[in-house]
Amino acid sequence: MLVRTRRADDPQPSEITPRLLHEHRRSVLKAAAAGLAAWSASTIVDAAAATGESSGSPGATRLQARTSALSTMERPTPYKDVVGYNNFYEFGTDKDDPAAYAGSLRVRPWTVTVEGEVARPRVFDIDELLRLAPLEERIYRLRCVEGWSMVIPWIGYSFAELMKRVEPTAKARYVEFVTLADAGQMPGLRSSVLAWPYVEGLRIDEAAHPLTLLTLGLYGEVLPKQNGAPVRIIVPWKYGFKSGKSLVRIRFVEKQPQTSWNLAAPQEYGFYSNVNPQVNHPRWSQATERRIGEDGFLQRKRPTLMFNGYADQVASLYAGMDLRKAF
């Protein structure tokens, strides 16, 4: 087992791009000039410009967002990899299938129904969700259970913002995230590789944690279809599959939801699925990861960090639990 220290998570000086800092300063000046007084205390970034990456979707709607202290300082994975190497089984199981086939996904009109154990059940239109709370850019690592990772400048706001609006009742102990299942738009539904719709779940305190991001964009633009347009969840301390794409229904429930991956292979994919280098997947190690975009013969794998580097923020959620059993 690898010995990990806090140092492993520290950014290398080379990982902080001078361009990023420069662009942040420029954005502040631009925002001030535009008279955005309420935002003046924080920087406003256009992530794509800030990282020097050009967007691959020329027609995409741009989003402006504040920077967030919850971001990692690691260098973001190149845009082309973020939108070209995906898991979205509704469009096929190969990594390049979502980019090739998700064009058929219709993202307008789009609503998300929030229901169950809430005092104020509501149907949110996607444009309402885009305005519900100030957008933040959160640069998070996405660590897939398959052993690869990326660093992605997501855009959204804490899921807790939405929770405030619907007021979960005392009976709400879990949240179920249900994603679109429409065979007319999603060719992958012909395969029975998973039970459709794709369903994921969180305990209510996990959902309410400020790190849990209701995600509407990445790299300064609205979410590309292959990344789960128009709205998904991102839970950065859990394996990527907990982050359901193209959400249509969010249900607050009393009992632990049955999730698609847990149903497909219960011995391999548990409900919690926290990134944990000490608990291996039954068929492979989880101790290290390959950073997408850094491939090469001599490229060394990186050590995987407990809770994907967010142990200080989230370990207390699991105090007293045996994470080998609650995997």
3-class DSSP assignment, residue 72: coil
Tell the smallest beta-carbon distance from residue 198 to ligand MTE (Å): 4
Residue 249 binds ligand MTE, judged by CB under 6 A: no
Tell me which stretch binds ligand MTE (CB under 6 A): 2-10, 34-42, 85-93, 294-302. 85-93
Closer residue to ligand MTE in complex, CB, 27/246: 246
Residue 246 binds ligand MTE, judged by CB under 6 A: yes
Give the closest residue to 219 by CA, choosing from 298, 300, 313, 156: 156
For ligand MTE, which residue of 64, 72, 86, 286 counts as binding (CB under 6 A)? Answer: 86
Tell the smallest beta-carbon distance from residue 112 to ligand MTE (Å): 13
Closer residue to ligand MTE in complex, CB, 198/310: 198
Residue 227 binds ligand MTE, judged by CB under 6 A: yes
- Dihedral sign (CA 94, 95, 99, 104): positive
Residue 144 binds ligand MTE, judged by CB under 6 A: yes
Distance CA 297, CA 220 (A): 32
Closer residue to ligand MTE in complex, CB, 110/198: 198
User: Which residue has 């973020």 as its token pair?
Assistant: 82
Alpha helices in the chain (DSSP H): 18-33, 47-50, 79-82, 97-101, 126-131, 159-166, 204-208, 260-264, 311-314
Q: Quick one: tokens of 319? A: 């105090």
For ligand MTE, which residue of 92, 217, 240, 309 counts as binding (CB under 6 A)? Answer: 240
User: What is the CB-side half-sphere exposure of residue 92 using CA atoms within 13 A?
Assistant: 14
Binding site for ligand MTE (CB under 6 A): 86-90, 142, 144, 179, 198, 227-228, 240-241, 243-246
